[in-house]
Amino acid sequence: MVHEKMDSLRRKLAVSLFEIDCLLFGNIKLSSELYVNAYFDLAAVFSYPALLNRMCDVACEHMKKKKVFPSSICGVSYSGVPFAALISSKLKVPLYLRSKEINLCAEDQRILGHIVPNNEVTIIEEVICSGTSTLQVIKDVEDAGMRVKNVFFMVDLEQGGFESLKQLGYCPVSLYKLSELRDTLFEDGYLNENRVEDIRQGWMNQHVLNGDCVTDTLLGERVSLRYESRLETMKIPIAQKLFRLILEKKTNLCVDLGLSSTDDIVETADLIGPYVCIIGIHLDACEKLNKKQIAALRKSAAIHNFLIMDDRKLSETGSVLLDQLRKILNIVDLVTVLPLPGNDILKEMNAIADEKPDKGIFFTGSLLTEDAFLKASFEKKVVTMGLDQNKSLLGFVTHQNSSIPTNYVHMMSDMRSTGSSIGKTKSSYYPLDLMTSTLGADVPEKIAAENVGNPLAQKLNCLGVGTTRKTRDQIGMIVKNRLKKSLNNIKLR
């Protein structure tokens, strides 16, 4: 990899960090029993006040060079906080702290400080690895009502996180890159050629673990296992069916149509059916739904081998919920439940499992709106409650995944909160390949339209068709090519 020439300030700082064992290279055994080629412990800098001050001076100069001019800064606990505090003092800008613990006095917020709505915040972290933990910090800042554009790291470990943030429209900047440090230390005689080659080859084949890095190991066994292995762990028939068709069709893509015309739903299902595993609809918004149209939709599902899901987000209890589940699951294969009532709904879910053992339920743990009342703590409670119910529960629709076991399915919507930091459109979207690789989704859900009731042309436009007039065959070809491209970018584990 070719780097721009490192300026003298950064070069001297790199050597100083190496001399106090902040940057360790070699065959290092971690507490997790894994061996890595390189390890960073920048916390050692905190014991050297002059060096810490110099490092933050260099960081400020590097930000200026990269045209990053923070109006406020958020430090990430724990190691990122001292850097952020000193940099904010030098730049004379407000400081926020992102805590690992929830602030119970501030409606589940993790961001500490005087919150100014719509304020732009630059996040400062020690290192970036896969980027998963950074995305959670960004979400916490945005949940607090502020915006994020720039994210500054002391070291980029070059494990994909930097590029993932760019894909999402953020502007990541790092003081150093791992390969840059490695090459500089070699040029200055601190590493020999054999050690450099060992590090270069090792980094091509394994992740580096750090306290704030999230890898497959830390995300849990579910993310590290292949779909074939997970198929054997699924406890309910519909989950096994879903994984079989994912493997047969080589697609884990779900598309939520949001159409109100049943004729349009059937027509679109025929177009995209070969390339998806689930098609999401909204039965309560369908106009003039009759037995003939239901039969046509079921026929399309049988021909193209996909499941139908009603994204209803049911939240009733007792006999009302049971009647709703019966009615909906007479038509579709899957339905979403928003478990606001808590454990009271489990009795009805067990009852429907006995009546319809070939159907399944997803628990919805998060909503897409910017000011949703459901916070991250609700997602965790939903997963915990769901683990007590496995007769009809297929999995979870959430934006967090680390606590979801191997025998449950994790679905994640590609739509991000309204008014996100990207700012180009009312809503923004996660790249599908990022959802499966970095965020660990088993089934990425593509939202094909934002508002139920829009014309079919507008729905298909969200799938990349465009707004100019086209024949049905032209639309079909464009949608197919668009979804094929999406599938090429999705990594099936």
pLDDT digits (tens, 9 = 90+) for 354-365: 899 999 999 988
Type of residue found at 125: E
Q: What is the pTM of this model?
A: 0.58
Residues 484 and 420: their CA atoms lie apart, in Å, by 28
Query: Are 97 and 111 in contact, with CB atoms under 8 Å apart?
Result: yes
Query: Are 134 and 151 in contact, with CB atoms under 8 Å apart?
Result: yes
φ, ψ dihedrals at 232, nearest 5°? -70, -20
Give the pair of three-digit tokens for residue 295: 């039969």
Query: Are 379 and 351 in contact, with CB atoms under 8 Å apart?
Result: no
Residues 470 and 186: their CA atoms lie apart, in Å, by 59
Strand order in the sheet with 95-103: 109-112, 95-103, 73-76, 120-128, 147-156, 171-177
CA atoms within 13 A on the CB side of 119: 20
Tell me the chain's radius of gyration from C-alpha atoms: 25
Per-residue pLDDT at 323: 93
Continuous H helices in 168-236: 178-187, 193-205, 216-219, 221-224, 227-231
Residues 139 and 143: their CA atoms lie apart, in Å, by 6
Which class for 108: exposed (0-12), middle (13-18), buried (19 or more C-beta within 10 A)?
Answer: middle
Q: For residue 196, how many other CB atoms are within 10 A of its CB?
A: 17
Residues 6+ apart with CB under 8 A from 361: 325, 334, 335, 336, 337, 349, 352, 392, 393, 394
Give the pair of three-digit tokens for residue 152: 């500054």
- Which residue, among 107, 102, 104, 13, has the nearest Cα to 62 in the 3D structure? 13
Residues 209 and 200: their CA atoms lie apart, in Å, by 16
Which class for 222: exposed (0-12), middle (13-18), buried (19 or more C-beta within 10 A)?
Answer: buried
What are the DSSP calls for 339-379, one per residue? Answer: -TTGGGGHHHHHHHHHH-TT-EEEEE----STT-S--HHHH
Report pLDDT digits (tens) over 428-472.
555 566 566 656 677 777 665 443 333 444 444 444 444 344 445
Residues 65 and 21: their CA atoms lie apart, in Å, by 28
Tens-of-pLDDT digits for all 493 residues of the chain? Answer: 555 668 899 999 999 999 998 877 666 664 444 556 667 778 899 999 999 999 999 999 999 999 999 999 999 988 889 999 999 999 999 999 998 766 544 555 789 999 999 999 999 999 887 777 788 888 889 888 899 999 999 998 887 788 878 877 899 999 999 888 888 888 988 888 877 776 666 554 444 333 333 333 334 556 667 788 888 888 789 999 999 998 898 888 888 887 778 888 888 888 888 888 999 998 888 877 888 989 999 999 999 999 999 999 998 888 899 999 999 999 999 999 998 888 888 888 888 888 999 999 999 887 766 556 666 667 778 888 887 666 789 888 887 655 678 888 888 876 554 333 333 333 455 556 656 665 667 777 766 544 333 344 444 444 444 434 444 555 556 555 656 655 555 556 6
| Torsion sign over Cα 426, 432, 435, 437 | negative
- Counting other chains too, the contacts that 131-134 makes at CB distance below 8 Å and 24 or more residues apart are 131/160, 131/161, 131/162, 131/164, 131/165, 131/438, 132/161, 132/214, 132/219, 132/438, 132/439, 132/440, 133/212, 133/213, 133/214, 134/161, 134/165
Query: Are 393 and 360 in contact, with CB atoms under 8 Å apart?
Result: yes
Per-residue pLDDT at 402: 54
Per-residue pLDDT at 254: 85
Query: Are 99 and 77 in contact, with CB atoms under 8 Å apart?
Result: yes
Which class for 409: exposed (0-12), middle (13-18), buried (19 or more C-beta within 10 A)?
Answer: buried
